[in-house]
């Protein structure tokens, strides 16, 4: 049985579509829903209205709209925006194909179709959607920038406040060398600070105006593109009209950035998940960011961190999917590009929410310095033992071997290295003096790593100041 063709009651075929004049038959109802984007691109209502007002002003400036017509359009859009903001805007199914159609349809109902029908003069939805997306993405990325700054401020503040606590540092998830807890926090803080710097570069590239590019060939009414760009807060223009309407590089790049951020977030979460286990017990999550078990009353699960780790995969998938969509498209605009909008909306929300959750986790996290200290192992000072001999003029390759012999002696005798006597060390190498026992002090160990970027107090505080400068 053939599908019924959909059109608004009393309308002619295609009459309510921006492209409808060419068509004499209605659309398959499934095609209508398959094609429409109004139920997700309605989030861009404010940007679409702002872009339309700037467009109308530019048309007024070249004489296409009279002063009264522009005033009517501007005041009409103010009412449309108020309806969206108050939640009273009524989407008309089968008519409001997207946010552009919906806003223009409602404008015509408010001010009359004769004036409202002049709004779209010389403009294509190709440039309109690109403009809306860039405006929305710019605004959201600026919010994300603020969230990331807040997260890094918490990181820097805790690193400064909790600098006295020493914990094991790990390589291969094996205890390696003692470090300051603050140094661990700043190791991820450094990655997130780099993300912040990259984000600011992404925002600058997103914030370029495609408005005035037309469908692909440009505008034929001599509109002042620079004036429209300045009104909308763009930093500049996209100088090729074909590239302006077809490129979704700005979405891909923003999502690639988000994926990098989520990669770092996932690793950060993984460390804290490990540190929160009973076997480590270095940290304890606040109840606000934990859940329990439906069966085991004693459980306190780090669900916030596990979700951060899990949502990273979601972010990676979104950018991969979009790149597969755009990789084989011919120039310029193709409907495939509609598939850039939904992943962009979800990706931005996922990243924004994740940073805010991470900030909440870190702000409320309780640490257990006693467990950190109890996990320190004298074997972690084996490198310090080698360095001790280096300072006496012994080549490092030789000291590394000698220190390894000390480790082997400790393992064989069951005597911890910090309980070995001077005679024990002398039996391995006569160049060990009585002061060798001073090597087995964790505070001394971390303070020896005083070069820039190290885990000594001075170096860690220097890292904090570097981070503060990046935050601005």
What are the residue numbers of the active site? 172, 293
* Phi-psi domain of 123 (left: phi exceeds 0; alpha: psi -120 through 50; beta: other): beta
Using CA atoms of 363, 369, 370, 373 in order, give the dihedral in degrees to the nearest 10. 150
Asked if 390 contacts 185 with a C-beta cutoff of 8 angstroms, the reply is: no
Please work out, in degrees rounded to the nearest 5, the angle formed at the alpha carbon of residue 48 by the alpha carbons of 42 and 54. 170
Report d(CA 135, CA 342) in Å as an integer.
16
**In angstroms, rounded to a whole number, what is the distance separating the alpha carbons of residues 396 and 65?**
81
Q: Is 367 helix (H, G, I), strand (E, B) or coil?
A: strand
Residue 422 DSSP class = H
Residue (of 26, 19, 21) closest to 5 by Cα position:
26
CA distance 108 to 76: 8
Q: Which candidate, 148, 161, 145, places its Cα nearest to that of 359?
A: 148
Distance CA 311, CA 304 (A): 11
Residue 290, helix vs strand vs coil: coil
CA distance 317 to 69: 47
Distance (Å, whole) CA 148 – CA 256: 16
Q: Which spans in 327-453 are helix H?
A: 341-364, 369-374, 382-390, 396-413, 422-428, 442-448
Cross-strand partners of 27: 6
DSSP-derived secondary structure for 68-119: HHHHHHHHHHHHHHHHHHHT-----TTT--SHHHHHHHHHHHHH-HHHHTTT
Instruction: List, in order, residues 6 or more apart from 443 with CB less than 8 Å away.
Output: 166
Q: Measured at the alpha carbon of residue 176, what is the angle toward residues 172 and 180, in degrees to the nearest 5?
A: 115
């Amino acid at each position: 049985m053939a599908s019924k063709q959909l059109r608004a009651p009393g309308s002619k075929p295609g009459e309510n579509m921006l492209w409808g004049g060419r068509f004499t038959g209605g659309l398959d109802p499934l095609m209508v829903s398959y094609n429409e984007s109004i139920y997700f691109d309605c989030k861009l209502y404010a940007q679409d209205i702002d872009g339309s007002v700037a467009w109308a002003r530019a048309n007024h400036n070249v004489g296409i709209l009279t002063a009264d017509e522009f005033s009517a359009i501007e005041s009409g859009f103010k009412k449309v925006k108020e309806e969206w903001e108050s939640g009273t805007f009524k989407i008309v199914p089968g008519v409001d194909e997207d946010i552009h159609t919906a806003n223009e349809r409602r404008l015509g109902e408010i001010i009359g179709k004769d004036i409202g029908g002049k709004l779209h003069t010389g403009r294509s939805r190709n440039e309109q959607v690109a403009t809306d997306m860039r405006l929305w993405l710019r605004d959201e990325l600026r919010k994300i920038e603020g969230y990331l700054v807040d997260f890094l401020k918490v990181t820097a503040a805790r690193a400064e406040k909790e600098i006295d606590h020493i914990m094991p540092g790990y390589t291969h998830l094996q205890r390696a060398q003692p470090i300051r807890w603050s140094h661990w926090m700043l190791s991820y803080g450094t990655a997130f600070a780099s993300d912040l710097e990259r984000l600011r570069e992404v925002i600058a590239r997103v914030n370029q105006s495609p408005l005035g590019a037309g469908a692909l060939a440009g505008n034929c009414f001599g509109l002042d593109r620079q004036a429209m760009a300045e009104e909308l807060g763009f930093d500049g223009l996209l100088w090729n009209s074909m590239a302006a309407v077809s490129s979704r590089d700005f979405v891909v790049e923003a999502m690639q950035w988000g994926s990098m951020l989520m990669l770092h977030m996932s690793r950060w979460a993984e460390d804290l998940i490990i540190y929160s286990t009973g076997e480590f017990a270095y940290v304890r999550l606040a109840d606000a960011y934990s859940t329990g078990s439906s069966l085991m009353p004693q459980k306190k699960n780090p669900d916030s961190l596990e979700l951060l780790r899990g949502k990273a995969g979601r972010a990676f998938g979104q950018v991969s999917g979009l790149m597969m969509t755009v990789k084989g498209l011919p120039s310029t605009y193709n409907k495939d590009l509609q598939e850039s909008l939904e992943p962009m909306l979800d990706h931005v929300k996922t990243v924004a929410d994740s940073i805010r959750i991470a900030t909440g986790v870190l702000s409320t996290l309780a640490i257990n310095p006693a467990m950190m200290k109890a996990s320190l192992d004298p074997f972690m000072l084996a490198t310090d033992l080698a360095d001790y001999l280096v300072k006496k003029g012994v080549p490092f390759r030789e000291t590394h071997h000698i220190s390894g012999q000390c480790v082997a002696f400790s393992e064989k005798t069951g005597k911890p290295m910090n309980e070995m006597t001077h005679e024990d060390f002398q039996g391995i190498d006569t160049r060990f003096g009585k002061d060798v026992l001073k090597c087995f002090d964790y505070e001394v160990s971390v303070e020896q790593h005083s070069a820039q970027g190290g885990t000594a107090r001075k170096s860690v505080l220097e890292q904090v100041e570097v981070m503060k400068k990046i935050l601005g």
